[in-house]
Structure 1
Amino acid sequence: VLTAGWRGKDKPTNVLSFPAFPFVQGGPLPPMLGDIVLAAETVAREAALEDKPVENHITHLVIHGLLHLLGYDHETDTEAEAMEAVERTALARLAIPDPYA
Structure 2
Amino acid sequence: MPAGETIDIQISIEAGGWPDAGVLEALCARTIVATCDYLERVEGQPFPKAGCELSLLFADDKMVREINGKWRDQDKPTNVLSFPAVPVTPGQLPGPMLGDILFARETIAREADAMDIAFDNHLIHLLVHGFLHLLGYDHIDDDDARIMEGHETRILAMLNLSDPYENTSPA
Q: TM-score, normalised by structure 2?
A: 0.57
1:49 and 2:108 are equivalent in the alignment: no
CA contact (8 A) 2:87 2:136 kept: no
1:74 and 2:139 are equivalent in the alignment: yes
Q: CA deviation at 1:18?
A: 1.1
Aligned pair partner of 2:102 in 37, 45, 48: 37
Off by >2 Å, runs of 4+ in structure 1: none
5+ residue gaps, structure 2, are 1-65, 167-171
Q: CA deviation at 1:25?
A: 2.1
Aligned-partner SS, 2:100? strand
CA distance in 1, matches of 2:91, 2:158: 22
Residue 5 of structure 2 is matched in structure 1 by none
Aligned-partner SS, 2:71? helix
1:91 and 2:167 are equivalent in the alignment: no
Aligned pair partner of 1:58 in 123, 129, 133: 123
Q: CA deviation at 1:17?
A: 0.5
Q: TM-score, normalised by structure 1?
A: 0.95
**How many corresponding residue pairs?**
101
Instruction: Work out the percentage of aligned pairs sharing the same amino acid.
Output: 53
Q: CA deviation at 1:28?
A: 1.3
**Per-residue CA distance 1:42-91 (angstroms, 9 max, x = gap):** 00110011100001000000000000000001110111111000000000
Aligned pair partner of 1:7 in 52, 72, 87: 72
5+ residue gaps, structure 1, are none
Look at both structures and tell me which one has the larger radius of gyration over its CA atoms.
2
CA contact (8 A) 2:89 2:137 kept: no
What amino acid does structure 2 have at the position aligned with 1:63? V
The structure richer in strand per residue is 2
